[in-house]
Structure 1
Amino acid sequence: MPSLTEGLDSLLRQKPINEDDRRAAALFALDAIANALAGRNTEAGRILAAHAGAEPRDSAGKAFVMGAMTHILEVDDLHRASVVHPGCVVVPAALALGARLDVRGHAFLDAVLWGFEAACRIGSAVGPAHYRIWHNTATCGPFGAAAAAGRLLGLGSGAMVDAFGNAGSQAAGLWQFIETGAMTKHLHAGHAASAGVTAADLAARGFSGPPAILEGARGFFRATCPDAQPDAVLAEPDAPWALRRTSIKPWPCCRHTHPAIDAALELAPKLEGRTIERVEVETYGAALDVCDRPEPQSPYEAKFSLQHTVAAALADGKVDFDSFEAPAREAHAPLRPRIGITLGDNYAAAYPAAWGSAVTVSLEGGERLAAARTHAKGDPEAPLDQDEMIAKARMLMQKAKIGPALANRLIVGLLAFAEDGPLPDLSPFFGLA
């Protein structure tokens, strides 16, 4: 009987790619690259750039640096069913290897589609308990990077299975960093991208890997997934590509806060000059586990605080990069203790297929205002259009201190991937030799 990774390899090879798929992939690549460029202009990004510049980097090393930078600002994409951020792993892996191989746009975008598919299918199979300890992007990402790199390298079926086996053996990434807001989460994305490139590069040279890495007695599911759902890896092979079912973040914070932000922004215009007595946020269990943080002490902790993000949305009518800095944290400190976070049964039951929340504001005098979201803005059910995606990329490039003229050239060039345009070497933007 074929292993799950053998089945996944077969599924990828049989799944057709059309021009709409490539156009969507070009927008997701633009989003990931813009995130990486902006991520460099942060404390963590500057540390990574210094590390990168210390010595020349091979393809895996370049993928590591770009992957880590892509995941710094918490505004990269997210696939809900798998709770994986595929772009920060897959796009850097494909960029690093694609530049080395001198590929053009279609080859690059097809590799991105394969990478999203592999990471998200395996992420959809790990089960909810995995996410309580393990960071799915870190553990499932290496499979996606290996799939993207394997596609670019033209690996045959046996070699691709070897690549998956050795990518899976490098799966790692724990949530303990959340306790202090450490920079470790960026490391997760970088390692996943690097591990997949290394696994595929070795497989191209005949380095073998375990075919039953997922379902084996000493494999990934047995080790890290108490309630794994192995059938999800190969389920619905004719469904749209996972990339087409991936969400784009409009706000630079944890995706679990977004449906509540969206609902709070609806209420904000009605609150001007009025006194808020109490706010109730209903959400699902994973959002409570990760984002119940009433007193964030750093920008990173604020990005993972439902109390802070909802307070910012209600008080300011917007959420942007400045919403998490010290002045904003101080300004919203009086409101945060009045925001209660509770489990909503309907949202818990719908998760992870739908990430929803409701916000109810109780005003002085007894009036109550409420708004709810079944899905957040940027989900496939409420997608950002191309103009909104480009506007977001411009915002990120402004954060990166890239001037308008260069930003425009980058955006035009990246979107030209869909027309099989050339793949530029972006390494110099990240301090890579």
Structure 2
Amino acid sequence: MSLTRNLTKLIRSKPVSDKDLEWAALFVLDTLGCALGALKTEPARMLQAVAPPETSDVPRRAFYLGGLAHILEMDDLHRDSVTHPGSVVIPAAWTISEHRNLNGREFLKSVLAGYEAMCRVGNSVGKAHYRVWHNTSTCGPFGSAFAAADLLKLDEDQTVWALGNAGTQSSGLWQFLATGAMSKHLHTARGAESGILAAQLAAEGFTGPEEILEGEKGFYAGLCTDPVPENVLANPDADWQLIRTSIKPWPCCRHTHPAIDAAIDLHRQLGNREIASVSVGAYQAALDVCDRPVPNDRYSAKFSLQHTVAIALAEGKVIQASFDADARERVAEIRDKVAVSLSEPINNAYPKSWGSEVSLTTTSGSTLSEVRSEAKGDPGNPVSAGEVEAKARLQLAEAGLSDRRIDALVDAILDLPNNYPVLDLDLLSDISINEKTRVARSA
């Protein structure tokens, strides 16, 4: 029996508790906060021009929402698979649910299932895959396809076909990092869209390869040099993968977060003493993506261990403005003192643990150091429900949404476990969310 068929059976046999649905609603709030919070950005304008949400079909609307969700670099991260499942799975599930007027619990169950499929495939690709391929983009279509298959009520065979045709659409290369190109947003956009198309085709009887993962000319053969296929089905009785997913407190690459967490603590200890040198020990994947001594723009600064550590040490916080030109200039002197290198203990623990070692020497000769194995927002060091809501509210306010609209949107999402309907976001409409809320609640 193929991996995708067994995966389908595994996911559909997992029990769902009310607590699981409450967790899923928090991740929906986080993802939509990231997406709507990006509405005023230039990449959002470009996505809207190509995929205007008010006239697009369901797959292309998911494309738009998936692209939006990844712009701010604040979307969630599943450490074991090194994927951002929320920005792929939730746009796909939301757009189908709003189109079909589905209820909250049905929607949230599909989110759990989509995370499970995407993350379990991601768990199996091996470390080498990430050096060239963006796991979120290659594994994402499996997640969006499974969420869509659940919402479209596909049977087992149809779901296996959907997963097969999702996998044959897998793509997404890291080359964009060399110039700071915008392709990363395209990765989540296409991941969300591809899965819906695969499921819609399967619903019509359009077949897909059952052995898309393990086949002689399949996903592992083409994209993975050190796959671990058994991880797809490992620990079937474990918590949902969504529960093992991290929520980001800082608007930059997750690989920088353990070092930021440590550096913020060092900022508090440093006081008025001057820094002579800083060393950062990281795992290899963090160095591959985030060793950028002199970032020349906001985007590259978000992928710079040197800059993120410098700003955290200097200011004790990392916010969107921390990557602007004046912020980059402000901490240039400290950034030049930051040296990054491979830490064998940290690297050996990756990807189960995303850690960092940060130490500094002051001009007076004293030393300070901090080690992190769990960054803020990881399952072992989680953010609270209140912190997730506060993060979403801040992003929505920065995007210009009114307090009334923010209140209505937050309330509607957090009420999804109680079977509140999935609303049409009407991202560019003059109809406010709270107006639609009043109509839905009176129906």
Q: Is this a same-fold pair by TM over 0.5?
A: yes
Residue 429 (structure 1) shift: 4.2
Match of 1:168 in 2: 167
Q: Distance in 2 between matches of 1:156 and 1:202?
A: 13
Alpha-carbon offset, residue 402 of structure 1: 1.1
Does structure 2 retain, via aligned residues, the 8 Å contact 1:284–1:356? yes
Q: Which runs of 5+ in 2 are unaligned?
A: 432-443
**Which range moved further: 129-138 or 268-277?**
268-277
Quote the Cα distance in structure 2 between the aligned partners of 1:371 and 1:173.
Answer: 35
What is the CA–CA distance in structure 1 between the aligned matches of 2:187 and 2:51, rounded to whole Å?
16
Go from structure 1 to structure 2 and tell me whether the alpha carbon gap of 1:386 and 1:55 turns closer, same or farther (over 3 Å shift). closer
Contact 2:152/2:203 (<8 A) preserved: yes
Secondary structure in 2 aligned to 1:371? Answer: strand
Distance 1:430 1:344, change over 3 A: farther
Identity %, equivalent residues: 51
SS of residue matched to 2:50: helix
Determine if the alignment matches structure 1 residue 281 to structure 2 residue 280: yes
Corresponding residue for 1:100?
A: 99
2-structure distance, mates of 1:191, 1:200 = 14
Distance across 1 between alignment mates of 2:101 and 2:109: 15
Q: What TM-score do the two structures reach when normalised by structure 2?
A: 0.96
Matches within 5 A, 1:189-338: 189-338=188-337
SS at match of 1:223: helix
Structural mapping, 1:324-363, within 5 Å: 324-363=323-362
One-letter code of the match for 1:279? V
Which stretch shows the higher mean deviation, 181-190 or 267-276?
Answer: 267-276
Partner of 2:441: none
Change (3 A) 1:177 1:82: same
- Cα deviation for residue 178 of structure 1 reads 0.4
Kindly provide the amino acid, as one letter, of the partner of residue 361 in structure 2.
Answer: S
Moved more, 264-273 or 283-292: 264-273
Give yes or no for contact 1:99–1:424 (8 Å, CA) kept in 2.
yes
Correspondence 1:376-415 to 2 at 5 A: 376-415=375-414
- Per-residue deviation, residues 91-117 of structure 1 (Å, max 9, x unmatched): 000011111111010000000000000
Structure 1 322/280 Cα, relative in aligned 2: closer, same or farther at 3 Å? same
Cα deviation for residue 55 of structure 1 reads 8.0
**Which residue is 2:5 aligned to?**
6
- The alpha-carbon distance between structure 1 residues 173 and 19, as it changes in their structure 2 partners (threshold 3 A), is same
d(CA) in 1 for partners of 2:423, 2:62: 15
CA contact (8 A) 1:49 1:430 kept: no
The Cα of 1:430 is off from its aligned counterpart by 8.2
State the Cα deviation string for residues 25-50 of structure 1 (Å, max 9, x = none): 00000000010001222111111122
Aligned partners of 1:52 and 1:431 also within 8 Å: no
CA distance in 2, matches of 1:17, 1:135: 30
Q: Does structure 2 retain, via aligned residues, the 8 Å contact 1:66–1:430? A: no
Counterpart CA distance in 1 for 2:428 and 2:287 is: 37
Q: How many residues align?
A: 431
SS in 2 for 1:126: coil
Q: Quick one: which amino acid aligns to residue 242 of structure 1?
A: Q
Distance across 2 between alignment mates of 1:407 and 1:72: 20
Structure 1 residue 271 displacement after superposition: 2.3
Give the match's secondary structure for 1:256.
Answer: helix
Question: C-alpha root-mean-square deviation of aligned residues, in Å?
Answer: 1.3
Amino acid paired to 2:405? L
Q: How many angstroms apart in 1 are the aligned matches of 2:63 and 2:302? A: 23
Cα pair distance change 1:419/1:206, threshold 3 Å:
same
Contact 1:37 1:429 in 2 (8 A): no
Is the CA contact 1:281–1:360 (under 8 Å) kept in the aligned structure 2? yes
Per the alignment, residue 109 of structure 2 pairs with: 110
8 A contact 1:40–1:49 mirrored in 2: no
